[in-house]
Every structure is written in structure tokens, then in C-alpha cells.
Amino acid sequence: MIELNHVVKKYGAKRALNGVTLSIPPGKVIGLVGENGSGKSTLLKVIAGLSSINTGSVTYEGAQVTRKIAKDLAYMSDTDLFYPYFTVRELMEYYDSQFADFDLIKAKELADFLKVPHDARMKSLSKGNRGRVKIAVTLAREAKIYLLDEPFSGLDPMVRDDIAKGLIRFTNPETQTVIMSTHEIREVEPLLDEIIVMRGGQIIAHEAVDEIRDLHGMDATSWMVSLFRNPQQGKEMVK
């Protein structure tokens, strides 16, 4: 579905992505992990067609990725980009006016499931409730691909648990692909089919979670720790 070949993305002299080659099949939930500054957010923006690349190629279903990919892809930034004076209901109605695949009924169901009051103004919501709203309006799109940049960042365990349950309930694992960058790998591991590990703008490992358990005999967090201690081991496992 999504193919990246030898992608380089520079910010000035710094290479945020340094020769990334990656294949992402449909119908997977993929965790994108790595240290701060490893290139995770940049990779998501490149896939979403929001950031141009210097060299290499990014394709979706065989065609070069541009911003037009937005018709099939829902991208959730790690920052709040909402009008603060909107109520939750007004925000959902705004999204409904902007995206042909937005399901307003599903959005309201998601808001109810995540315990977000429809009449509350965005500026009055706690960080946890704003995180719930971001997930609600993102998953309410019937997209083929969801890109979630740090959906659990700064949220308490109860909120993270609600969001994880929402991902399970309101996406179709047979047809939709979810790629999420996260530092909360231990908590989201049960959701994941695959894990991509980044370091210094490169992918140092890309493994199926089941294979991590079966072949390496450890959970994902322990596996990641071993990778960062022995980067060469990761390079040998990149698909």
C-alpha cells in the first residue's frame, strides 16, 4: 500500500530521514517508536504528503504521494490545532463539512464512548479530554490509513486506556491501517501487529510483534532496549 524508497528529508544540514526504505501493507496496526528526534514525526508527515522530501520516493497504491492522499488518509498531529471557541459538537460538524468520508454519527458515538461532553468548548477541556476529542474526530473518518502522532503523550493511564479501547472498537483491522508513533510501547503492545524502530533518521528494525515474542523470547519493550544497546542487531532485522 505505502512504499518508501531511500527517502532523505533534510532540515538545513540535518537529515531528519536518512535513506528510509519501508513497505507498509494494508490491515495492520503498527507502532512507530524511537528516541525524541529520531525522525518519527517527520516520517508520518512525509507519508501524509505534508512534507516534501529531498531524494527518494514515497508512493501510495503505486502513485507518488501528494497532499491528495488526504482523501484516503487521516492524520492526527501531536499538537492541538482546533479553534478554541468551538464546542465539541461544532468541531465535529466542521470536520463533517471538510471531509467526504467523515461519519458524524460515528463521531458522536466516539465522543460518547470516550466520555467527552458535546457542548463543552475546546478551550475549557483538560488535556486528557482534548486528546479524546482528537481521537474521536480522527477515527470518525472512514479512512484507509490513520496516522497518529503521539496519541498518548502526556495523558494519564485512564485516558490512554480509553483511547486504546477506542482504537480497537472503531477501526477495522481487516481493511484499515493504523500507524502510531508512541513512547508508551508497553501499554500499546497488545494492539500492535508490527513495530518499526527509528534512530537517527533511520529504521533500525521492523518486526512483527508475534515474531519478537516467538523468535526473541521477550516482550517489545525488552526487545527495544536490546536494540539500542546493540544497533547492529537491529540493522540485521530490518525488512
pLDDT of residue 43: 97
Per-residue pLDDT of the chain (239 residues; tens, 9 = 90+): 899 999 999 999 999 999 999 999 889 999 999 988 999 999 999 999 999 999 999 999 989 998 888 899 999 998 877 888 999 999 999 999 999 999 999 999 999 999 999 999 999 999 888 989 999 999 999 999 999 999 888 778 888 888 888 888 899 888 899 999 988 787 788 889 999 999 999 999 999 999 888 888 888 888 888 887 775 555 445 44
pLDDT of residue 233: 55
Length of the chain: 239
Give CA–CA dist 135/166, Å, rounded.
8
pLDDT of residue 225: 80
pLDDT of residue 232: 58
| Tally of structural domains, the chain | 1
Q: How far is CA 161 from CA 114, 132, 140, 167, 168, in A?
A: 10, 11, 18, 10, 11
Q: What is the CATH number of the domain that holds 164?
A: 3.40.50.300
18 burial via Cβ count (<10 Å: 0-12, 13-18, 19+): middle
Domain boundaries, position 38: 2-235
User: Which residue has cell 504521494?
Assistant: 65
Give CA–CA dist 93/137, Å, rounded.
10
pLDDT, one tens digit per residue, over 95-117 is 999 999 999 999 999 999 999 99
Give CA–CA dist 34/16, Å, rounded.
13
Of all residues in the chain, what percent are helix, strand and coil, respectively (each to 5)? 40, 30, 35
Give CA–CA dist 24/28, Å, rounded.
8
Contacts of 86 (CB under 8 A, 6+ apart): 94, 121, 122
Give CA–CA dist 37/202, Å, rounded.
11
Give CA–CA dist 151/148, Å, rounded.
6
List the one residue out of 24, 29, 25 whose CA is nearest residue 43: 24
Instruction: Identify the helix (H) or strand (E) that includes residue 127.
Output: helix 127-139
pLDDT, one tens digit per residue, over 151-190 is 888 778 888 888 888 888 899 888 899 999 988 787 788 8
